[in-house]
Structure 1
Amino acid sequence: MTDAAPPSPPRPHLACVGLGMMLGAHLTPRARGWLEGADVVWVAASDPLVEAWALALNPNSRSLQGLYAEGRPRQHTYREMVETLLAGLRAGRRVAGAFYGHPGVFAQVPHVAVARARAEGFEAVMEPGISAADCLYADLGIDPGHVGCAHYEASQLLFYRRLIDTSAWLVLWQVGLAGDRTYAVRESSAAQRQQLVERLLRDYPPEHPAIVYEAATLPVGRPRIETLPLAGLAGARLHMHSTLVLPPARPLEPEPLHGAEPAVSIRSATPAG
């Protein structure tokens, strides 16, 4: 009778998972499994309490926040984060990256790291989490399938030619950085934000409601939902994680079908996912 062959060592892999927005409440069982089973976990969460909680899930957890530095372009930091994740993978480890919210939503590092890992022949997965957009829909009572909802990064709307459909909801992310081209600051200036206001005033009246939204990160906390006139946005208290939401400014306009009134296309009773 021969001895059984020893089990094969676990294969190195990369898992980029989402922590969700709220401390401890949004982590899925699958995401927790990737974190607890990793040889090394790298955590990137801008909220110190969320990061401390995530670091405690695995004794081999470390923070990526130390790679940020005031005045250093964020693109340099992002490249270093990717290399940090891949270094453990190339050393034969099971690596997990834990990211705030959803790892694929306004998060460049997970996308690049997963693509690079797969290109080098490693197993790599992205595990979704509850994003700020998910919280926004719930907290503001918005159904994106009702009249439509467009999402843009605030500076992208400012620097590129984009068409705004004012019959739909408009969501602008990272509005606290609007107008900054250096990628090295945590907040843009009021003058830079005024440029965004002037761009939006081409399509909306000055008194149009502008909602500043920030998701709650603690179970005992509440989201920030502050409404002000669009013309006063530049002077508002804005952060890197602030999101701007503009309600529709006009109703949907029916498109005639061969001279007949079209059927209603809003499928409010049909779930989309």
Structure 2
Amino acid sequence: MASLVCVGTGIGLAGQISVRAKSHIEHADIVFSLMPDGFAQRYIEGLNANVVNLQQFYAQGDEIKNRRLTYEQMTQAMVEAAQSGRRVVGAFYGHPGVFACVPHMAIRRCTALGIEAWMEPGISAEDCLWADLGIDPAQSGHQSFEASQFMFFRHQPAPCCHLLLWQIALAGENTLTRFHTSRDRLQVLVKQLSQWYPLEHEVVLYEAAFLPVHEPRICRLALKDLPDAEMDPATTLLVPPAQKLEHNLEVLAMLGLTPADLA
């Protein structure tokens, strides 16, 4: 029976894939995979003999290609396979619904065609970040934005909680044809953030480990030094709180509480 399920394989190779996701891959008629490296790709190919690598749709060599076209081609390949009556699996590293538009597009399109389609979650880079940095985001709360979206729109960060900016290596890049930004664009971001955070405020560049033999990258630096820092498409910027949480005295009074009750 025709179907599409998009699964997350986690960040760490093999060790973070769920039993359900692995079973879907093993029993699929065809698997479309998007993995971060050759090791992960070969692991998927070891689970199913019919695997299509979605990396082929990205620009190759000196080719310049808009990523919107790439994502449309990936989506269409998965939908057409489902339309042919096959059990299709889309295997995406991390969580298939987080910073991954293709699974969402493919599921919506299949559903509109009357084809059963759904998503199975996976361990995301954010899950790894909290674990590797030893942070419980519930203690102060956190905000999360794609870096360019944060720059292009009037988001208001709360300096009393953790701020995550994803795809920092693409901050301010809007052509969808490049996989890196420029020092000047990062300087604009620093100026923007300096409205809420001191230039000397310590921030963290984070990259989760894809292989068990690797360590996560945790680089601490001052906000002002961000434009000169090394980063790649997998890098996330964490801006820790710069202020303490402020009690909402009016609400506490309505609840019959005082700040001492929360200590």
TM-score bracket, shorter-length normalisation: over 0.9
Deviation of the 1:55 alpha carbon: 2.1
The structure 2 residue matched to 1:57, chosen from 47, 50, 56, is 47
Q: CA deviation at 1:261?
A: 2.1
In structure 2, C-alpha distance between the alignment counterparts of 1:66 and 1:13, rounded to whole Å: 23
Distance in structure 2 (CA, Å) of the matches to 1:120 and 1:265: 52
More displaced 10-residue stretch of structure 1: 13-22 or 40-49: 40-49
Structure 1 residues not aligned, in runs of 5+: 1-10, 267-273
- Residues 163-222 of structure 1 deviation map (CA, whole Å, 9 limit, x = unaligned): 110000001100000010101111111111111111111111011001000000111110
Per the alignment, residue 130 of structure 2 pairs with: 137
Deviation at residue 26 of structure 1 after TM alignment = 0.6
| TM-aligned CA distance change 1:263 to 1:65, over 3 Å | farther
Contact 1:255 1:261 in 2 (8 A): no
**Structure 1 CA distance for aligned equivalents of residues 45 and 53 of structure 2:** 7
- 2:210 matched to which residue of 1? 217
Residues 172 and 264 (structure 1), Cα distance of their counterparts in 2 relative to 1, 3 Å cut: farther
Alignment partner of 1:207 is 2:204:
no
Q: Does 1:148 align with 2:150?
A: no
Q: 1:161 aligns with which of 154, 173, 179?
A: 154
Q: Deviations over 1:94-133 (max 9, x none)?
A: 1001001000110000011111111111111101111000
Q: Which amino acid aligns with 1:51?
A: Q
Distance 1:265 1:64, change over 3 A: farther
Larger C-alpha radius of gyration, 1 or 2?
A: 1
How far 1:50 sits from its partner (Å)? 1.2
- CA drift of 1:73 comes to 1.2
Residue 17 of structure 2 is matched in structure 1 by 27
Amino acid aligned to 1:139: D
Code of the aligned partner of 1:190: R
Match of 1:261 in 2: 258
Distance 2:211 2:262 in 1: 38
TM-score in terms of structure 1 length = 0.91
Letter in 2 for 1:103: P
Residues matched between the structures, number: 256
SS in structure 1 of the partner of residue 52 of structure 2: strand
Q: Partner of 1:85: helix, strand, or coil?
A: helix
> Matched residues in 2 for 1:229 and 1:44: separation?
34
Letter in 1 for 2:143: A
For the Cα contact (< 8 Å) 1:153–1:174, is it kept in 2? yes
Structure 1 position 262, deviation (Å) = 4.7
Q: Which residue of 2 aligns with 1:243?
A: 236
Aligned-residue offset at 1:47:
2.1
1:16 alignment partner, SS class: strand
Question: After superposition, what is the alpha-carbon deviation per residue over 1:53-107, rounded to whole angstroms, capped at 9, x for unaligned?
Answer: 1122100011010100052111110111110000100011110010010001100
Distance 1:230 1:264 in 2: 35
* 1:195 corresponding residue in structure 2: 188
The amino acid that maps onto 1:65 is Q
TM-score using structure 2 length: 0.94
1:93 matched to which residue of 2?
Answer: 86
| Equivalent in the alignment of 1:252 | 245
Aligned counterparts of 1:116 and 1:254: Cα–Cα separation in 2: 46
Letter in 2 for 1:261: T
Show structure 1 runs of 4+ deviating over 3 A: 262-266
Measured on the aligned residues, the alpha-carbon RMSD in Å equals: 1.4
> C-alpha separation between the residues in 1 aligned to 2:53 and 2:216?
26
